[in-house]
Structure 1
Amino acid sequence: MKTLLNLVWLVLSGFWLFLGYVLAGLVMCVLIVTIPWGLAAFRIGAYALWPFGRTTVDRRDAGAGSLLGNAIWLVLAGWWLALGHILTGIALCVTVIGIPFGIANFKLVPVSLLPLGREIVPTDRPFATR
């Protein structure tokens, strides 16, 4: 079932959201200083491409650095990506079939706003950390 949901997600919104994350990641990597944020963008882009069967959990070892990093991310790319998820979610909620995918988009908004200090794990082991 996860595969079917992911395939429909890929067609309806996953691919375009993935491209947004890749673009943000490339810009961050070109700027050299922001390479850690670029890597985070690629990681979350893969999650946005194929989200069903995975979830995010807070990392216990995340400290003040992730708070500062999230503030920088929010200004540079986070709000653009969150806006993409919100607009896509609203568009998907117009149809009955798209409502579950719209809700999934809304669930990705917090991750796109504040990605650092979170880890993406399979749903069958959501409490796994490094």
Structure 2
Amino acid sequence: MNTVGNILWIILGGGIFIFLEYLIGGLLLCLTIIGIPFGLQAFRLAGLSLTPFGRQLLHDGSQTGCLATSMNILWIVVGGVWIALTHLLFAVLMALTIIGIPFARQHMKLAAFAFTPFGYQIR
């Protein structure tokens, strides 16, 4: 069922657009030395946004603290708000139809992760 959900997500749920957004953003962030940790997070988000069904986000207790908080604040300031708003827009559009409700739920999960990606583990 997860495979079918992921295929429909890529075709109908806007997964390919979100994947390309993260991929291009990650490549641009990796152009600078300072942006490499953020680019790597964008690549993790790209992988999750391509196949979100059957995967969970777990709060990683070992990656909390001052560094994760600082990175999350910097991520929010630089672009996390815009990416989360993209997910929110897709979620609203998907929730207008009955078939799109599972896709809207995945977009809301991804919006929370896109807003503060540091300190989470993808399973």
Aligned-pair CA distance for 1:120: 0.2
Aligned-pair CA distance for 1:103: 1.6
Q: How many residues align?
A: 121
> Which residue of the partner structure matches residue 109 of structure 2?
107
Query: Once the two structures are aligned, what percentage of the paired residues are identical?
Result: 38
| Aligned 8 A contact 1:74 1:113 in 2 | yes
Specify which of 89, 92, 99 is matched with residue 90 of structure 1: 92
- State the distance in 2 between where 1:99 and 1:35 align: 35
> Which residue of the partner structure matches residue 2 of structure 2?
2
Unaligned 5+ residue runs, structure 2? none
Unaligned 5+ residue runs, structure 1? 122-130
> Which residue of the partner structure matches residue 80 of structure 1?
82
> Which residue of the partner structure matches residue 27 of structure 2?
26
Give the alignment's TM-score, normalised by structure 2.
0.94
> Which residue of the partner structure matches residue 55 of structure 2?
54
CA root-mean-square deviation: 0.9
Give the alignment's TM-score, normalised by structure 1.
0.89
Q: Please give the secondary structure, in 1, of the residue aligned with 2:17.
A: helix
Instruction: Give the partner amino acid of 1:78.
Output: G
- State the distance in 2 between where 1:97 and 1:58 align: 29
Instruction: Give the partner amino acid of 2:68.
Output: S
Q: Please give the secondary structure, in 2, of the residue aligned with 1:30.
A: coil
- Ranges of 4+ aligned residues in structure 1 off by more than 2 Å: none
